Every structure is written in C-alpha cells, then in structure tokens.
Amino acid sequence: QVTLRESGPALVNPTQTLTLTCTFSGFSLTTSGMSVSWIRQPPGRALEWLARIHWDDDKYYNTSLKTRLTISKDTSKNQVVLSMTNMDPVDTATYYCARLEWQQQAFDIWGQGTMVTVSS
C-alpha cells in the first residue's frame, strides 16, 4: 500500500523558513520514473503546485516561488523535504505531498496534508 504523510510546524512566524517533511512508504524514490511533488492549497482556494523531485535527483520548481524553495530527498529514510524561506501570511495553506504516476502523469496518491499558518 502506497502512503505519504506530511509533517512540520503548524505555525510559522513571518520571515522564518518553513521546513516540511514527506515520509512515504510502498514505493521507492530510487525507481526509475518515480517523483514526489509538493502542492499547497490556501484556505478555500485552489491547488498550486510548488516543487517536484525525481528518482534521479532532478528538481523542478514553481517559477514564481523558485527563489524561496528547496526540495531534497533522503532515499534511506523514504523522505522528501521542502524548505520555503521568507514565509509570509499569504503562504498560509495546507501543504500536500503527492506521488506523480509517471506514465499517467497524474498525482495518484496524496498525503493527508499539513496546515501551516504564518502569523506573528
């Protein structure tokens, strides 16, 4: 069974750096074609893709947020980590990690999400 679970702080101060961890099971990020993305959803609003990391360590970022984002993986721990610098209240959202099924090019498995509030 494939699962993903996000973890991280629920509250972040403005200007701080947010670090989120996605711990997954049921697949390996060393398998060709595998990738994990981070996607966020502000309250009551639509989904926004943030970043993706591939099995071969290729990394892709949302163009408008690229300077603030860093994605990495630890294959020994089955984890993907997202860092976002200079947090602002507009970054308040539920942050999801999801697996991209390569051949379908669709997000087939999602984590439950973690709500992050940016406030002083």
Partner 1 sequence: DIVMTQTPLSSPVTLGQPASISCRSSQSLLHSDGNVYLSWLQQRPGQPPRLLIYQISNRFSGVPDRFSASAAGSYFTLKISRVEAEDVGVYYCMQATHFPCTFGQGTKLEIK
The distance of closest approach from Cβ of residue 55 to partner 1 in the complex, given in angstroms and rounded to an integer, is 17
Instruction: Select from 7-15, 20-28, 82-90, 107-115 the region that touches partner 1 (CB under 8 A).
Output: 107-115
Pairing of strands 11-12, 114-118: parallel
Euclidean distance between CA atoms 8 and 81, whole angstroms = 10
The single residue among 3, 21, 62, 92 that binds partner 1, judged by CB under 8 A, is 62
Q: CB nearer to partner 1: give 1 or 76.
A: 1
Euclidean distance between CA atoms 99 and 62, whole angstroms = 17
Helix (H) or strand (E) holding 76: none
Q: CB nearer to partner 1: give 16 or 100.
A: 100
> CB of 111 within 8 A of CB of 22?
yes
Residues that bind partner 1 (CB under 8 A): 46-49, 60, 62-63, 96, 98, 100-101, 104-113
